[in-house]
Amino acid sequence: MLRVEGLEVFYGRVQALSRVSLQLQKGDAVTIVGPNGAGKTTLLRAISGLIPVRGGAVDYEGRDITNRRPDQIVRLGISMVPEGRDLFGPLSVRDNLLLGAYARYRAVGKREVERDLERVWELFPHLRERQRQAAATLSGGEQQMVAIGRALMAQPRLLLLDEPSLGLAPLVIREIFGAIEGLRAQGITLLLVEQNAKAAFRIADRGYVLEAGGNMSEARGPDEVQRAYLGDSLHLIPEYR
């Protein structure tokens, strides 16, 4: 479904990714872990078209999507939940969600978009109660729900999630990861960047460790992640409870 081959990304003269490669099949749930500054967010942003790629290629469902515009990539079926959520704080929850359907609104019409909203309310019932509330007034966990819901309004087949547990309390993390696991059960392919390796591997079949400098290695579970870049004598981030 997705093949990233030899990807190279620069910020000015600084190389952020060096020949990074990975593959996802339809229905996969794959996590990317690694130290801060290794380029995990950069990789997701490059796949999404948010930053330019200088070398290598991104192939999605048999199409070369390298350096396509972000709106074109969304229309092809890839949505991203960004680190930090990037909501429009003064706008209501409902309006933030509707913005996620912008690329398809004319094609499918108001009725279909309203049905998509209902699916988000079912996934996150708290948001229905707060749909007229300004996004900036929500808790961190509720804002993360809005960010995920907004991405789902584009009806993606591939969902990219960047640190969905960042800054959240353990009980909220459990709820967020439960919802993400439900999305996988619906057939959405997942590519997840997450520092909490144990939480990520509750959902993911396998993962990649991205090291500073762009070296990528595959890992089948949190113990392999520990050996790859934390060292045998260190402990993983505690599992959410």
Could you give the CA distance from residue 17 to residue 50 in angstroms, rounded to a whole number?
A: 15
Could you give the CA distance from residue 33 to residue 41 in angstroms, rounded to a whole number?
A: 10
What was the pLDDT predicted at 232? 41
Q: What is the mean pLDDT of residues 130-148?
A: 96
CA atoms within 13 A on the CB side of 165: 24
Does pLDDT of 87 surpass 90? Answer: yes
Q: Which of 238, 162, 235 is nearest to 196 (CA)?
A: 238
Could you give the CA distance from residue 30 to residue 47 in angstroms, rounded to a whole number?
A: 15
The three-state secondary structure class of 191 is strand
Structural domains in the chain, CATH included, are 1-77+157-232 (3.40.50.300), 85-155 (no CATH)
Which carries the bigger pLDDT value, residue 158 or residue 234? 158
Could you give the CA distance from residue 162 to residue 80 in angstroms, rounded to a whole number?
A: 8
β-strands 55-60, 2-11 pairing = antiparallel
What was the pLDDT predicted at 236? 37
Q: What is the mean pLDDT of residues 72-96?
A: 95
The pTM for the full model equals 0.88
Which carries the bigger pLDDT value, residue 224 or residue 7? 7
Average pLDDT of the residues of the chain: 88
Phi then psi dihedrals of residue 232, to 5 deg: -65, -25
Does pLDDT of 79 surpass 90? Answer: yes
What was the pLDDT predicted at 211? 82
Residue-wise pLDDT for 149-203, tens only, equals 999 999 999 999 999 998 889 999 999 999 999 998 899 999 999 888 888 888 8
- Label residue 11 exposed, middle or buried (CB < 10 Å: 0-12, 13-18, 19+): exposed
Q: What is the mean pLDDT of residues 141-150?
A: 96
77 confidence band (pLDDT: 50, 70, 90): very high
Contact 130, 138 (CB under 8 A): yes
CA-based torsion, 136, 194, 38, 63: positive or negative: negative
Percent of the chain residues topping a pLDDT of 70: 89
What was the pLDDT predicted at 164? 93
Could you give the CA distance from residue 156 to residue 90 in angstroms, rounded to a whole number?
A: 26
Could you give the CA distance from residue 202 to residue 55 in angstroms, rounded to a whole number?
A: 33
